[in-house]
Every structure is written in C-alpha cells, then in structure tokens.
C-alpha cells in the first residue's frame, strides 16, 4: 500500500508539471442602494446597504503538454446569473490586454445565483423590468470586478496539481417542485436515492509542495436563504461558505476578498432545489401548505418556504456552514489526480431554430426516427406565481395549464402569440410571448451560449440557465456516454435563458416548467447540442461559432434616476457620528452607530468598503488595526436617504461582536463619498468614540437581538 502510494505521488508530481493554475479574487459589488435586486422579480426589493459583499473568483488554467498551450478561464461570480453583455465586455477588455489568449471558446463566467444582489446588468428587457430597466452602474461594477479577478489569476499562473473529490451533504437542500420531479419515469427515478442532487463535487489546486492554491466546487442549491424581504446586498449561503473557507485557509483575520487562496462555491443544476429545508408553510397558520397548488386557508395568506433557522440570516448561516463543512472535509483528504490536456468547445445557438432527437431517459438513447424543435421564447402563467422561495405578486397559481381571458388580453396588448407559438409551447398557457416582444428591444434571448470544457477526465458543461435536478442528471449521463469520466455542470453561465425542465416535468407546468422558454423540448435540444460539442472535442473536429447575440447596448432604457446631490444637515459634516455607540459591549452584543452620509452610488468603493471595525493597538501613536470590514458576516452597512429634496442621508454601521474577539478598545469607522450640489464627488470619513469590548460586559443591555 505504502509503496503504491509513493509511486503514485511520484507519477502525479511528474504529470503535474504540465498544468499551471492561477487564482484571483476581486470585489464586484454593485450599487448597494436604490437599485432593485435580481432574482425574485420584486419591484420593492430595493437595496439599502450591504451584509456580504459580492466577489468574482477566477481560476485560469493552462496546460502546456501539447504543441500549443491551451487555457481555460472559469469565474464564479456572486451575482444572480451572467449575461452576454457582461461577458462580451469582459472578453473585449481581456483581448485589448492579451490579444486572442482569452476568447469565446475558453472563458466561462458563471453566476452563483444569489437573489440578493443588484440587477439591471442583463440586456434583455424582461429581466431588467423589475429593476426599472438597465442599470449601467451594476453592469460596469460586474465587468470591472470580473476582469480584474481574471487579470490577477493570469498574473499568478504557477505550476500546480489538481485533485478531484466528491462528498454527500444530505440536509442542505430540498426539491421545491417535488410533484414535477415525480413526472419523470419511475425507471429513471429508481436510479437515484433523492429528488435533489446531494453530492458536492470539488477540485482542489495545490502547488508542487502541496500548499493549497484554490478550491472550486459545485453543490446544487438555490442561494435563496435570504428571502425577498431582504434589502441588504448578500452573496447568500454559497457566498458565505466561500468566505468561511477562505478565512479558514488564509487565516481567520484575513478580510473577505483579501486572501491569496481563493475558494468558490459555484452553481450547478439547482433549478428546482431550495435551501429552505423546513419546506413550504402558510404565512399565518404555520401549517404545511397544499404541495400541488400551494394553497392556504385564509384568502391573503401566502405560502412560502423557510428554515432551517429561525430567521433568514440564521438560515443562511446554517446552510452555508453545512456545505462549507462538507467541502472542508474534502479539502483535508487526498483526491483523485486530474491532469490535462485542456480543451474547450463553445457555440452560440439560436434555440427556436434548433431541431433535435428526443432523449429516452429509460433506455438512455436518442430516438433518431423522431425530430423535435425549439419554440420562440415564451413564459407560461405559472411563472407569475413565483415559487415557494419567493411567491409572486398576483393571484397566479403554479401548475396552471389554462389561461384566463383578462391576462390573455394584457398579453396580446404586448405581443400576441401565433397559433404556431401556442401549439409549439403546449401545454404551457402563454402569459408573455417574449419571443415576439421587440419593444423597446428583445425581452428574452433567442441565442444562447453553450460550452463543454475538458481537463483530462473532468468534463465541465457550462449551461446558460437553471437545469432542474433531473435535467442535470440527464445531461451528465449523456456526456458520460460520450466518454467523460466525471461530469460537472456549471450553471447560469455566460447567457441567461431561464429554466430547463425535462419534457415530463414540462407537462406539470409548475414555475420551472413555465419558465422553460423554448418549449417542451428545450432539454432535448441541449442534450443533442452538448453531446455534439463533447464529440467534437473527442474527434478534434471544429464547429461553427454560431450567431453572436445582437448588441442592444445603444438602445438600452433605464428609469433609474441618477444621484442628484448630497448635503449634510446644517452644522454637521459628512462622516459626523450622530448616534454614538454605548461605552461597553460583550460578546453577542451588536454595536450600532449612525453617521451623516453620502449616497453610496457615488462610488462603489471596490476593495475598500463603506465601513470597518477597528481595534486600538497603541494609545500613544493612536494606531488602530482593522478587525472587520463591511464584507464580513458580523457587520452590516445600512444607508437611508432622509430627504431627497435636501439630499441628506444617514449610514448605520452594525457590528455583532463574535465570541473570541480580543478584549480591548474599539471604534467603528465609516467611509463614503458625497456629490456636491455644484458638481464633483468627494470622499469623506468619520469614526465613533472608542468603546470597550470584554467578557465582563457579556449580556449587557446593549444587545438589540
């Protein structure tokens, strides 16, 4: 045993010389105030501060075994999804700097799918509608941060080894449309123990001296532990898991986004997977709701899922901890070595025009005698019902397979679906014929982006949307049959084209199916396409690049008003602390302070933040060190406009003092920028009076919890 292990280590070390890896992390936080969040489509969920900052985590891989060096870029971004506009700009900037080294073929940008981050960065009108249109501030923040993370990773390329491992995490997710899942054939379901994927797949990059460089994993769960009432920017469960692992590996005192070791918890086939493990319950009675129609007894009583914690913050922390701990176990055990070569194949695909052979999930074959085709994009009625993670605004029910005259009239006013559209999308009743809606520009994409990348035995399928559990399983089986040993699905990559339910799930028309926009055979088309891409990699055959999605950037509409001006109240200055914290605090207490502030949209302060917690280290020198930033779990930055006319606003800093904080003298420090009424944007800062933290103050009256 020993001998075999030593031999392997030697062999691995030799093979490893061919692979080089660089990792990079950069702040991508969007405008944290006055912009609606992307995900729940809730006009009222407008940001007003930060709980957890957003980061882009980049991994650049290079393999120089063959005659030509091959590169692959994978970036996991704390955002609801990625869109073509952002990717096009990122690649454009990379090409300005590096020529054609990075291109459509080898750059994968994947959103984690957090529902608590600013929107308005997609180019398609429907997705930006709840945000009041396109928001250039969000768009630019994401592009700048993603680009920076890739440049850092590029500059840090170093010889590395790559190890793969898997672990089961049982109690961190549930299926939110279990009745849809049951529509899949029993023979197929019998292959799986659960109705969601419970396996976390992870790659670990280590240096030749076995130091960890970075970790990248995929676990199927919606980052919707923070619900649609949350108005603080948050990377949610998976984002916090990343922060925890980066702290554990870089040292606990490393601020989020500042460590050398980068750990990404990326999205995969999470379409029907919820983190709200207590399941759907009625808002007032607390009783389990009718699973199929999600009905509660009282007329205005909504049904939504929550848990496992007592509020959304605790739920986020619990789910994050579960997946972090599972992933950490894998970090500490040896994995299977993965070596090159690296290759990737990408194609833009115009979905409504695709033809495909339907896939039989029982026999695992494509029926080549039958041809099915895609439809123009359309959303079904149940889309408007929302899900149990975020119920919709109107009186729509999931599982709706017939329309109603009033909403059909509204729909036809926007764009009337043709008889062919209706037939093509059946049994989906069309609520929005988005494929026919061209005003002011396209509402949903017709062209998607598909990538298959290979690193030796590991195959990565980057998909432009949210595959349900069974859709993802089918894709993995198809790619395994096409020769891949390990298959990982990278969700919400490059373009966002909603959900991908199986044809069987499509019949039930729950939310995921209503949002499967290219009709009942959407999945079949993808299965054919990804197999084609994988086969092309195997045979070395080239493929057409496909039609690049249209560029609407000159037509984009926004209703978001710019920052007009900021002003401090009479007798005050920006940064003045108008509500001081108390003098003493114990562990578990929350320190709060209020400052005269400017609008955070004046400067997104990437990598610097709006606030810090500082400890006094030398009284003589008045020297303070930062112990927490506004990206840390323990802190919250909350901004409130007091008067739009006067331009006055307040910023609150909150710090929940963690157990184990060294006793001593502390202060809160606020940073910001204000917009002067006569023009110009200027920085300011201010801090609180010092206060004492210590065990003896435990359970004092200060706690606001």
Ligand X SMILES: *[C@@H]1O[C@H](CO)[C@@H](O)[C@H](O)[C@H]1NC(C)=O
264 is written with which tokens?
């990404």
**Toward ligand X, which CB reaches closer, 149 or 306?**
306
446 with 495: CB under 8 angstroms? Answer: no
Under the criterion CB under 6 A, does residue 228 sit at the interface with ligand X? yes
**Toward ligand X, which CB reaches closer, 42 or 268?**
42
Under the criterion CB under 6 A, does residue 539 sit at the interface with ligand X? no
Binding part of the chain for ligand X, among 42-50, 225-233, 584-592, 646-654 by CB under 6 A, reads: 225-233
Among 68, 209, 369, 696, binds ligand X (CB under 6 A): 369
DSSP 351-396: GGG-EEPPEETTTTEE-TT--EE-----EEGGGGGEETTEE-SSS-
**Toward ligand X, which CB reaches closer, 149 or 274?**
274
Closest by alpha carbon to 123, among 570, 497, 580, 421?
A: 497
343 with 537: CB under 8 angstroms? Answer: yes
84 is written with which tokens?
């073509």
Nearest-approach distance from CB 275 to ligand X, in angstroms: 12
Site for ligand X in 180-199 (CB under 6 A): none
Under the criterion CB under 6 A, does residue 342 sit at the interface with ligand X? no
Token pair 């502030």 is found at 597
Binding part of the chain for ligand X, among 8-16, 222-230, 351-359, 505-513 by CB under 6 A, reads: 222-230
Helices 522-539 + 469-481 axis angle, to 10: 30
Q: Can you tell me whether residue 638 is helix, strand or coil?
A: strand
Nearest-approach distance from CB 157 to ligand X, in angstroms: 29
95 is written with which tokens?
């090409």
Q: Environment class of residue 662 by beta-carbon count within 10 Å: exposed (0-12), middle (13-18) or buried (19+)?
A: exposed
Phi, psi of 312 (to 5 degrees): -70, -30
Q: Can you tell me whether residue 303 is helix, strand or coil?
A: strand
**Toward ligand X, which CB reaches closer, 561 or 696?**
696
Q: Can you tell me whether residue 610 is helix, strand or coil?
A: coil
Q: Environment class of residue 70 by beta-carbon count within 10 Å: exposed (0-12), middle (13-18) or buried (19+)?
A: buried
**Toward ligand X, which CB reaches closer, 71 or 222?**
222
Under the criterion CB under 6 A, does residue 701 sit at the interface with ligand X? yes
Please state, in angstroms and rounded to a whole number, the distance separating the CA atoms of residues 509 and 503: 10
Phi, psi of 130 (to 5 degrees): -65, -10
DSSP state of 233: B
177 with 516: CB under 8 angstroms? Answer: no
Under the criterion CB under 6 A, does residue 229 sit at the interface with ligand X? yes
Bridge partners of 595, per DSSP, are 577, 651
**Toward ligand X, which CB reaches closer, 278 or 616?**
278
Nearest-approach distance from CB 701 to ligand X, in angstroms: 4
| Contacts of residue 406, Cβ cutoff 8 Å, sequence gap at least 6 | none
Among 367, 416, 420, 573, binds ligand X (CB under 6 A): 367
**Toward ligand X, which CB reaches closer, 304 or 526?**
304
Among 138, 227, 343, 449, binds ligand X (CB under 6 A): 227
Residue nearest to ligand X (CB): 311
End-to-end CA distance of the chain: 55
Site for ligand X in 252-311 (CB under 6 A): 252, 304, 306, 311
Based on its alpha-carbon atoms, the radius of gyration of the chain, rounded to whole angstroms, reads 25
What are the catalytic residues?
274
**Toward ligand X, which CB reaches closer, 538 or 626?**
626
Binding part of the chain for ligand X, among 183-191, 227-235, 465-473, 573-581 by CB under 6 A, reads: 227-235
**Toward ligand X, which CB reaches closer, 226 or 488?**
226
Closest by alpha carbon to 266, among 419, 461, 526, 477?
A: 461
Torsion of CA 248, 253, 258, 262, to 10 degrees: 0
Closest by alpha carbon to 63, among 17, 14, 103, 13?
A: 17
Closest by alpha carbon to 268, among 493, 485, 118, 23?
A: 493
**Toward ligand X, which CB reaches closer, 662 or 680?**
662
Under the criterion CB under 6 A, does residue 700 sit at the interface with ligand X? yes
Nearest-approach distance from CB 506 to ligand X, in angstroms: 21
| Contacts of residue 319, Cβ cutoff 8 Å, sequence gap at least 6 | 172, 221, 225, 237, 275, 277, 308
Under the criterion CB under 6 A, does residue 312 sit at the interface with ligand X? yes
Q: Environment class of residue 422 by beta-carbon count within 10 Å: exposed (0-12), middle (13-18) or buried (19+)?
A: middle
Closest by alpha carbon to 534, among 343, 289, 313, 327?
A: 343
> Where along the sequence are the contacts to ligand X (CB under 6 A)?
227-229, 252, 304, 306, 311-312, 367, 369, 699-701
């Amino acid at each position: 045993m020993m001998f075999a292990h030593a031999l392997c280590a030697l062999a691995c070390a030799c093979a490893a010389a061919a692979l080089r890896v660089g990792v990079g992390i950069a702040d991508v936080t969007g405008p944290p105030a006055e912009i609606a969040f992307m995900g729940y489509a809730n006009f009222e969920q407008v940001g007003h501060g930060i709980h957890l900052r957003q980061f882009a985590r980049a991994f650049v891989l290079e393999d120089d075994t063959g005659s030509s060096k091959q590169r692959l870029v994978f970036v996991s971004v704390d955002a609801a999804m990625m869109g073509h506009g952002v990717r096009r700009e990122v690649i454009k900037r990379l090409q300005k700097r590096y020529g054609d080294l990075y291109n459509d073929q080898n750059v994968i940008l994947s959103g984690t799918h957090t529902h608590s981050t600013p929107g308005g960065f997609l180019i398609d009108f429907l997705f930006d509608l709840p945000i009041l249109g396109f928001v250039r501030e969000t768009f630019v923040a994401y592009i700048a941060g993603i680009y920076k993370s890739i440049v850092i990773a590029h500059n840090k390329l170093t010889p590395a080894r790559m190890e793969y491992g898997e672990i089961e995490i049982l109690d961190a997710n549930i299926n939110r449309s279990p009745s849809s899942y049951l529509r899949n054939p029993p023979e197929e379901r019998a292959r799986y123990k659960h109705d969601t994927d419970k396996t976390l797949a992870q790659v670990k990059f280590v240096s030749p001296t076995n130091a960890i460089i970075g970790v990248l994993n995929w676990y199927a769960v919606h980052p919707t532990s923070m619900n649609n009432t949350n108005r603080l920017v948050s990377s949610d469960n998976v984002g916090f898991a990343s922060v925890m692992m980066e702290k554990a590996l870089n040292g606990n005192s490393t601020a989020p986004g500042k460590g050398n070791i980068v750990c990404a918890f990326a999205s995969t086939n999470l379409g029907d997977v919820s983190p709200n493990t207590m399941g759907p319950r009625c808002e007032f009675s607390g009783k389990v709701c009718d699973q199929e129609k999600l009905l509660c007894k009282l007329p205005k009583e909504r049904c939504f899922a929550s848990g496992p914690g007592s509020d959304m913050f605790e739920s986020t922390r619990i789910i994050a901890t579960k997946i972090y701990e599972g992933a950490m176990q894998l970090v500490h055990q040896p994995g299977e070595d993965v070596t090159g070569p690296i290759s990737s194949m990408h194609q833009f695909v115009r979905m409504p025009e695709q033809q495909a052979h339907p896939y039989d999930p029982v026999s695992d074959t494509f029926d080549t005698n039958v041809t099915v085709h895609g439809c123009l994009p359309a959303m079904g009625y149940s889309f408007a019902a929302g899900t149990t993670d975020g119920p919709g605004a109107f009186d729509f029910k999931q599982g709706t397979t017939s329309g109603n005259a009033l909403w059909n009239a509204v729909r036809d006013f926007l764009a009337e679906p043709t008889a062919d559209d209706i037939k093509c999308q059946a049994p989906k009743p069309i609520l929005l014929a988005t494929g026919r809606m061209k005003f002011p520009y396209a509402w949903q994409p017709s062209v998607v982006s598909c990538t298959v990348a290979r690193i030796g035995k590991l195959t990565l399928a980057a998909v432009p949307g949210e595959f349900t559990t069974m859709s993802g399983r089918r894709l993995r089986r198809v790619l395994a049959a096409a020769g891949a040993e390990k298959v990982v699905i990278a969700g919400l990559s490059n373009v966002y084209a909603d959900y991908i339910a199986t044809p069987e799930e499509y019949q039930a028309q729950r939310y995921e199916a209503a949002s499967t926009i290219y009709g009942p055979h959407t999945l079949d088309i993808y299965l054919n396409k990804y197999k084609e891409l994988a086969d092309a990699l195997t045979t070395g055959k080239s493929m057409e690049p496909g039609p690049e999605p249209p560029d609407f950037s000159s037509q984009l509409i926004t209703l978001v008003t710019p920052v007009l001006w900021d002003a401090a109240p009479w007798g005050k200055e920006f940064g003045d602390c108008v509500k001081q914290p108390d003098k003493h605090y114990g562990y578990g207490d929350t320190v709060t302070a209020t400052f005269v502030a400017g609008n955070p949209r004046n400067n997104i302060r990437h990598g610097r933040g709006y606030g810090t917690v500082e400890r006094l280290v030398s009284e003589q020198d008045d020297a303070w060190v930062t112990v927490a930033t506004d990206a840390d779990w323990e802190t919250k930055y909350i901004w409130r406009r007091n008067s739009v006319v006067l331009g006055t606003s307040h910023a609150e800093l909150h710090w929940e003092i963690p157990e184990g904080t060294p006793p001593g003298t502390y202060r809160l420090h606020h940073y910001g920028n204000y917009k002067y009424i006569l023009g110009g944007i200027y920085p300011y800062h201010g801090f609180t009076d010092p206060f004492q933290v210590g065990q003896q103050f435990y359970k004092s009256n200060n706690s606001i919890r």
